[in-house]
Structure 1
Amino acid sequence: MNDTSNRTSVDGGTVGTLARGLDIVEWVAATPGATVQRLSADLGLSRSAAYRIVGMLRDRGYVVGETELRLGPVIMRLGLQALEGLDIHAVGPEHLRELVDETEETAFIAVFDDDQMCYVMQEEGPQVVRVLSKLGGRAPLHASGLGKAYLSALPEAERGLVVERIPLTGYTATTFTTAPELHAELDRIRDQGWALDDAEREPGVRCIAAPIRGAGELPVAAISVAGPRDRIVAAQSSIVPAVVRTAARISVALGASPPSHPLSHDT
C-alpha cells in the first residue's frame, strides 16, 4: 500500500515537472529575449522552481544561455530528425484514398523531378471510364494541373527561372505556350489556391490540382483529381474544395502551416 502511494506521488511529480519543462521549452521558442525572471512571471512558477527546471533543461541541451535563454542544439537535432520522418509516401496514401472516396474520381500525387512532374501515387476511382497514369510517368509543368499547381507555389524568382528554361510545347488548343500567359495563369492559381488543366495536354480530360507544401512552406509535390471533361465540369464545385482540403491536410502533416487564404471557386 505504501509502495503504491509512493510510486503515484513520484510519478505525479515527474509528470508535473515534465509538463512544466515542455511549457518552458515552448515559451522560450516563442519569446525573444527570454529570461528566467520573465519566465517565472509568465508561467506562474516560483523563482526557485524556474531556475531548477531551466537548469535541468540546460544540462540536457534543450536550452542554452545564462541571462538570455535560447533553444539548445538538442531541439535542433530532434527537429531535423522529425522532419526527416515526414515523407509524402508515408502520409499521402491514406489522404489520397479519402479524396477518391469523396470525389469518386481517380486521384494522383506527383513530385517535381528534372523540370517535370513525376507520378508517384495513384488511387483509382470507381468509375468505369477513368483517367489513369503510369507510376513514374511524367507530366509537363506548363500543361498539367499538377505542374501548374507546383509552379504556382514556388517563389516568383525561382518560378521565373523554371519557366524560362522549360519548353512551352503546345499539346492542344488550350495549352499555355507563352511565358506571359503562363505567368498570368500561375498568378491566378496562386491566388485561388488550386489549378485547372482544361484538356491542356490530353483532349477530353479535365484535372483539378493543388500544391502540397512542406515544413518550409515551399512546394514538395502536388495532388490532383482527373477524369473525363464533362464529368469533372459537372462535379467541379465539390471536387475543388475536396482537392484543396486534402492538399492542406497533407501539407500540415508534412510540417506546413494551415492555409490562410480563402478558397476561390472561379474558373
Structure 2
Amino acid sequence: MLSTVSRAFEVLSLFTPDESQWGATGVARRLDLSKSSAHDLLRSLWELGMLERQPGGQYHLGLGLLALSQQVASVQPWLGAARREMAALAHQTGEIIHLSVLHHGSLLHLEDAHPPGGGEHLGVPPPGLASAQVPPQCSAMGKALLSALPWPQVLELIQRQGLGSLTVNSINTADELQTELQRVRERGYAYDVEEAFPGVCCIAVPVRGAGGQVKAAMSMSVPSPRFAQLKQERRAQLLEAGYHLERVLNAEEALLMAQ
C-alpha cells in the first residue's frame, strides 16, 4: 500500500508548468514502470479527481488538488502572513521571492512572489525543473532548512539520497556541507552562488515560529551581476523581512494560544 501511495505521489510530481500533460507511455518511461502500471496509476488518480483526462489518453492536474491545497492553507494560517511579506519584499527590491519547506528530505516549493513587471527571467529556475529536483545543499533555501537539523539527521539524509551536483559550484562532500551549515547557523542566512543554476545567486533565511522551530525558508533570487553589486543590500532587506515575518507569526501564534 505504501509503495502504491509513493508511486502516486511520484506521478503527481511529474506535472509541472512546462510538462503539464502526461500519458501512460511518458509516465512509464520516466518512472521506470510498465505501461499498464502507469495507466492504472493515472486512471486511479483521475477517478479520485486528482487528474483530468484529455483526448488522446493525456492527463493534467485536476481540481481535486486545488481543493486540497485550499484546505492546507486553511490549517496553515501563517502562509497568509508569508505571502504578504513576500509580496512587499518583491515590490521593494524588484527581485523574485520564494518560500519552501523541507519535506521528506527534499525541497517542497510553496510560494513565489514576483515584483511588478514580473522580474528578470534570470531570477528564476530554468523551466521544467521542480524544486524537488534541486538537492537541498545546492540551494540557499535548502541550506537554511538543513541548518536547523542536527548533523546526524542531515548525514542520514545525504547517505540515503546522495549529494547531487548541479553546477561546478555545488557542494559535493559531507565535510564541506557540515562546515557550510555551521556557517549558516552562526550568521543566520545562507547563500547560493550559482550552485543550483548558472547565472543565478540566492540568499535565504529560515523562518521560525513561536517556539523557535523553523517553519520554512524564504529566499531571494538575484541575477549574478546584480548580486555582485547589491549583495549586502539585498541580504539586509531579506533579513529584515524575515525578522518582520517572524514577529508577525509569533504574535499570531500567541493570540491563538490565548484563545
TM-score by shorter chain over 0.5 = yes
Alignment map for 1:179-198 (pairs within 5 Å): 179-198=174-193
Name the SS of the counterpart of 2:102 in structure 1.
Answer: strand
What do you get for the CA RMSD once the two structures are aligned?
Answer: 2.3
User: For residue 235 of structure 1, what is the aligned residue in structure 2?
Assistant: 230
1:98 corresponds to = 88
Selected match of 1:116 from 106, 111, 125: 106
Computing the radius of gyration over CA atoms, which structure comes out larger, 1 or 2?
Answer: 1
Structure 1 CA distance, aligned partners of 2:154 and 2:212?
15
Identity %: 28
Name 2:123's counterpart in structure 1: 131
- Output the CA distance in 2 between the equivalents of 1:136 and 1:175: 17
Gaps of 5+ in 2: 1-73, 252-259
Trace 1:104-183 onto structure 2 (pairs within 5 A). 104-125=94-115, 126=117, 127-133=119-125, 137-138=131-132, 139-183=134-178
Q: State the Cα deviation string for residues 40-72 of structure 1 (Å, max 9, x = none).
A: xxxxxxxxxxxxxxxxxxxxxxxxxxxxxxxxx
How big is each residue's C-alpha offset from its partner over 1:149-178, in whole Å with a ceiling of 9 and x where there is no partner? Answer: 111122444334334433211211111101
Cα–Cα, structure 1 residues 93 and 171, in superposed 2: closer, same or farther, change >3 Å?
same
Match of 2:216 among 214, 221, 227: 221
Letter in 2 for 1:236: K
1:188-224 Cα shifts (integer Å, max 9, x gaps): 0111111000111111110011111123312111001
Find the aligned partners of 2:180 and 2:88 in 1 and give their Cα distance.
Answer: 29
How many residues align? The count is 173
Change in Cα spacing, 1:164 to 1:255, as seen in structure 2 (3 Å) is farther
Query: How big is the shift at 1:85?
Result: 6.2
Q: Which amino acid aligns with 1:227?
A: V
3-state SS of 2:156 partner? helix
Deviation (angstroms), 1:128: 4.1
Instruction: Give the TM-score, by structure 2 length.
Output: 0.60
1:116-175 deviation digits (Å, cap 9, x = unpaired): 111111011344444235797423211001000111122444334334433211211111
Distance 1:203 1:135 in 2: 14
Contact 1:171 1:200 in 2 (8 A): yes
Aligned partner letter, 1:219 = V
Q: Which amino acid aligns with 1:131?
A: G
Q: TM-score by structure 1 length?
A: 0.59
- The 1:175/1:136 distance shift into structure 2, 3 A limit, reads closer
Q: Which amino acid aligns with 1:110?
A: S
